[in-house]
Amino acid sequence: MKTTKTSCTKTDVYARVTDRIVSDLEKGVRPWMKPWSADHASDRLPSLPLRHNGTPYRGVNVLLLWGEMVEKGYDNPLWMTYKQAEALGANVRKGEHGSLVVYADTYAKTEENDKGEEIERAIPFMKGYTVFNVAQIEGLPAHYYHPTAPRDHGRTIELIEEAEAFFNATGAAFRHGGNRAFYAPSADFIQLPPAAAFRDAESYAGTKAHELVHWTGNEKRMAREFGKRFGDKAYAFEELVAELGAAFLCADLGITPEVREDHAAYLAHWLEVLKDDKRAIFSAAAHAQRALDFLHNLQRTEAGGSARRLNTSVCAA
């Protein structure tokens, strides 16, 4: 039996997405960390959720589908609509329930201004639609069911080397010493404890990724400023952007991040912000995605080789 596409108003989409993430936060769980729980990190490399054609999802859709993957036990990152499965000669199994993702775009509207002139204005809109994990679909070509290879533990050093190449190509100033990790905006440098102080190389790289997202927000770069919108919670909101951006970057680089306990204090602030503003999680995910795109754009081809280029195709969230 064909599953009917979910129909939502713009307000419904904002509320449904926010309510899903608030529910996780109220349980003390950060949805952007769930894909790397102990049950899943042992045999799969972290991956961004993918469309049926291999294009990564972006922004808030990453959070939604990561949450679905862990809650329902999917270890395959590929998703598609009912019609896309049908076009491939496959079908969604009877009784399966789809997962919500959102699509944002604009449409042109012609209006008359005060001078009687016709002007065209871009009107933003958002709609929700339903996708299914390939684990819910029968009859797909075999390669759809095996898109990711099991983790090869021999690649650990290579992955970290690629991550370091990525970090170095940004031009950010990293300093080491002490027992704290932070970004200093006025002096514009990232401070980290010595690498040997971290539990493992991935913990070090994941922390580095978090502080690097903060670095993108400097007034000389992306000039992120949330004070007017979030007041005394602006700093906590910036921390949310950095957490999301680091999770996205770690997935790109094949790094398994960890929850930083020193950020646990922000959970209550995040809940307040998200409950007060149904669009806040969309904003945070969008800022995180833009920070990631900014970092990718800093990667440069060098003489005798090139920095690792990751998939950053621009597509709807």
pLDDT single digits (tens) 253-294: 888 776 666 666 778 888 888 998 889 999 999 999 999 999
Question: Does pLDDT of 312 surpass 70?
Answer: no
- Say if strands 305-306 and 301-302 run parallel, antiparallel, or are unpaired: antiparallel
- From residue 162, give the alpha-carbon distance in Å to each of 42, 203, 211, 308, 309: 21, 15, 18, 7, 10
- Say if strands 174-176 and 189-192 run parallel, antiparallel, or are unpaired: parallel
pTM of the model: 0.74
pLDDT at 305: 38
Q: What is the DSSP letter of 44?
A: B
pLDDT single digits (tens) 144-189: 987 654 444 444 444 578 899 999 999 999 999 888 899 999 999 9
- Residues in Cβ contact with 310 at an 8 Å cutoff, skipping those fewer than 6 apart: 166, 252, 253, 296
Question: Does pLDDT of 210 surpass 60?
Answer: yes
The tokens for 44 are: 């799969």
Q: Rounded CA gap, 315 and 313, in Å?
A: 6
